């Protein structure tokens, strides 16, 4: 069986599902934004894996890009093993530790870095063994396809679902904070839930910025 995709819902709060690949800098920024949204809007976030490596496995992409995505296979297996073995609640903290090391500290995307992230959130060290265990790929693919199936194959990560509305994005830098984050959520939800709405886009004129905006660390134990 794959990862259950029915999020827990608290009274008077909306359940939000967020699909991510730890390697994607834009998904990382969106994840910091959605965690900020959780502090200013009545939403409960459940994080799910998707895989850019799986998304692009049959596409004509450069070998450089394929090599860049390769560590995501092992990393995804470890995150999935943690989620299956220890529950959805461990995923945000593990993702935060991975993302901080990958995107802020520019660490090598290897087993040693992932093992360090596991230790930082007090998860069992032997979860790192999942890195080389291909038996986890089916569960990762189930989670990936559940997310990408909501929005189509011509997009990437993040994918967000709330009730009957699902969309790719938003792509934003830096990650908004406070009420600005809440207003972006309100607007994104408004347009994404409009029947017949498909796309609103402009050319990016800067890369992802990690030095400002929402803080990389959030206390997910509460």
Q: Say how many domains are in the chain.
A: 1
- pLDDT tens-digit series, residues 62-88: 899 898 899 999 999 999 999 999 999
CA distance 103 to 29: 10
Identify the band that residue 220 occupies on the pLDDT scale cut at 50, 70 and 90: very low
Q: Give the pLDDT confidence of 146-197 residue by residue, as tens digits.
A: 999 999 878 889 999 999 999 999 999 999 999 999 999 999 999 999 999 9
- Per the domain annotation, does 6 fall within a domain? no
Helices 91-99 and 111-120, axial angle in degrees (round to 10)? 130
The residue ranges of DSSP E strands in 13-168, in sequence order, are: 14-20, 43-49, 159-162, 165-168
Q: What is the pTM of this model?
A: 0.88
Domain annotation covers residue 218: no
Judge whether 207 lies within some domain.
no
Q: What is the pLDDT of residue 219?
A: 46
Going 72 to 216 to 155 to 80, the CA torsion angle's sign is positive
Domain containing residue 96: CATH number: 3.40.30.10
pLDDT score at 211: 72
Whether 160 contacts 16, CB under 8 Å: yes
Is residue 152 one of the residues assigned to a domain? yes
Q: Is the pLDDT of residue 4 over 70?
A: no
Is residue 216 assigned to a domain? no
Q: How far is it, in rounded angstroms, from Cα 116 to Cα 154?
A: 34
pLDDT digits (tens, 9 = 90+) for 27-66: 999 999 999 999 999 999 999 999 999 998 888 888 998 9
Residue 197 within any structural domain of the chain: no
pLDDT grade for 9, boundaries at 50, 70 and 90: low
Instruction: Decide if 121 is inside a domain.
Output: yes
User: By mean pLDDT, which of 28-32, 116-120, 163-167, 200-204 is the weakest?
Assistant: 200-204
Domain with 64 in it: 14-192
Query: Does some domain include residue 203?
Result: no
Q: State the average pLDDT over residues 128-140.
A: 98
């Amino acid at each position: 069986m794959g990862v259950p995709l029915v999020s827990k819902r608290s009274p008077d709060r909306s359940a939000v599902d967020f699909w991510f690949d730890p390697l994607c800098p834009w998904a990382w920024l969106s994840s910091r934004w959605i965690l900020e949204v959780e502090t200013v809007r009545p939403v409960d976030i459940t994080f799910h894996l998707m895989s850019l490596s799986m998304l692009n496995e049959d596409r004509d992409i450069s070998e450089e890009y394929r090599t860049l995505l390769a560590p995501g296979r092992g990393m995804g297996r470890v995150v999935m093993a943690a989620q299956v073995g220890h529950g959805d609640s461990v995923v945000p903290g593990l993702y935060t530790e991975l993302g901080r090391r990958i995107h802020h500290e520019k660490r090598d995307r290897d087993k040693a870095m992932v093992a360090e992230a596991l230790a930082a959130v007090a998860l069992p060290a032997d979860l790192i063994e999942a890195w080389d265990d291909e038996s986890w790929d089916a569960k990762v693919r189930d989670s990936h396809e559940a997310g990408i199936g909501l929005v189509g194959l011509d997009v990437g990560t993040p994918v967000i679902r709330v009730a009957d509305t699902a969309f790719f994005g938003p792509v934003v830098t830096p990650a908004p904070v406070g009420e600005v984050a809440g207003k972006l959520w309100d607007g994104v939800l408004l347009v994404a839930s409009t029947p017949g709405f498909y796309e609103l886009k402009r050319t990016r004129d800067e890369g992802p910025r990690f030095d400002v905006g929402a803080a990389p660390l959030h206390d997910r134990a509460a």
